Amino acid sequence: MEVIVAEHAGFCFGVTKAVDTVYEQIAKGTSGYIYTYGPIIHNETVVSDLEKKGVRVINDIDELEELVAENKDNSKKQPAGTIVIRSHGVTRQVQTLIEKTGFDVIDATCPFVKRIHKVVAEESQKGKSIIVVGSANHPEVEGIVSYGDGKVYVIDGPESAAEFDENRELDYTLVAQTTFNKKKFQETVEIFKNNGYNINIVNTICNATDERQTEAEEIASKADAMIVIGGAHSSNSRKLYEICKEKCADTYFIQTLEDLHLNLTKNVKLVGITAGASTPKNIIEEVQNYVRTNF
Ligand code: F3S
């Protein structure tokens, strides 16, 4: 049986940079606590390793507001600290609050996400309405939306695009969540064009996502079984799973090797493996070794 592991599997450039930033701060012995706003990546193994090394997670805006308040109150003043902003960025409101803590701030927002913030801010200042194609409750999309000054709509794909019924006299600019499914993005764009909207399309799906999805689809098309490794809360991994499942009915979605209960028949000749942007290399290797040695 042959096993193919996707070349574009695992940490992307933005996630690598964010995770490395936190480990560098630990190694430097940065004074005070090191915080991340939200878990640095959607991977429990990495997050719990960081927790053991003393990194604290600020889970939401309420916890952030508490920190700001404690730092104003001299009796409770927190020791010096550093807050790392993770790769998919934060809202403008959160950014302001983070700065108000008085801690050092390291912004590890991926440059591809920063670019979307810039496009949305500039285009909405020109008076355009913004359409973001993505998941409304994903932190990256919440951040993107916050950079719009006027109307901002979030739609989650072709079905919502077909139902979209707003003023066709206005000018719109459309962007995408960096990890959006590129085929669904193209379908969505077509629907807007066909429905008579005056729309400026900025394809902001990042290269890493594009390459990862294209390669996963290619492997899944020829594989008899496909394994997608990714965090349960990682939206790019879920999308990867959907893409593979469409091409290969026998697709497994796992977080770690422990979740894998492969049921391979003798007819299985090719097993493909890919992984989302927040999956560390060692987990991919473990799964790969297990499949190679046990089947
Ligand atoms: Fe950046 Fe793309 Fe990764 S936007 S964080 S390189 S998935």
Centre of ligand 1 to C-alpha 88, Å, is: 8
The per-residue pLDDT for 117 is 98
Query: How do residues 147-199 score in pLDDT, each as one tens digit?
Result: 999 999 999 999 999 999 999 999 999 999 999 998 999 999 999 999 999 99
Which of these is catalytic: 123, 140, 142, 217? 140
Is pLDDT above 80 for 36?
Answer: yes
CB of 103 closer than 8 Å to CB of 32: yes
- pTM attached to this predicted model: 0.89
Q: Is 266 exposed, middle or buried (0-12, 13-18, 19+ CB in 10 A)?
A: exposed
% of the chain at pLDDT higher than 90? 84
Q: Using a 6 Å cutoff on CB, does residue 290 contact ligand 1?
A: no
Mutate to test the pocket of ligand 1, among 86, 112, 141 (most ligand atoms within 8 A of CB): 112
| Closest C-alpha among 290, 219, 214, 209 to residue 256 | 290
Atom of ligand 1 nearest to the CA of 88: 5
Q: Is 166 labeled as catalytic in the residue annotation?
A: no
Quote the CA–CA distance of 264 and 279 in Å, as a whole number. 24
Q: For the beta carbon of residue 77, count every other beta carbon within 10 angstroms.
A: 11
The per-residue pLDDT for 112 is 96
Query: How do residues 212-226 score in pLDDT, each as one tens digit?
Result: 999 999 999 999 999
Q: Using a 6 Å cutoff on CB, does residue 234 contact ligand 1?
A: no
Query: How do residues 4-28 score in pLDDT, each as one tens digit?
Result: 999 999 999 999 999 999 999 999 9
Q: Using a 6 Å cutoff on CB, does residue 15 contact ligand 1?
A: yes
C-alpha distance from residue 292 to each of 108, 177, 270, 288, 295 (Å): 36, 35, 11, 6, 6
Quote the CA–CA distance of 15 and 22 in Å, as a whole number. 11
| Closest C-alpha among 174, 169, 205, 170 to residue 192 | 174
Looking at the DSSP bridge assignments, the partners of residue 33 are: 81
Query: How do residues 101-141 score in pLDDT, each as one tens digit?
Result: 889 999 999 999 999 999 999 999 999 999 999 999 999 99
Quote the CA–CA distance of 107 and 93 in Å, as a whole number. 15
- All domains in the chain, ordered by first residue: 2-11+208-294 (3.40.1010.20), 13-108 (3.40.50.11270), 112-205 (3.40.1010.20)
Q: Ligand 1, atom 1: nearest CA belongs to which residue?
A: 14
Amino acid at 43: N
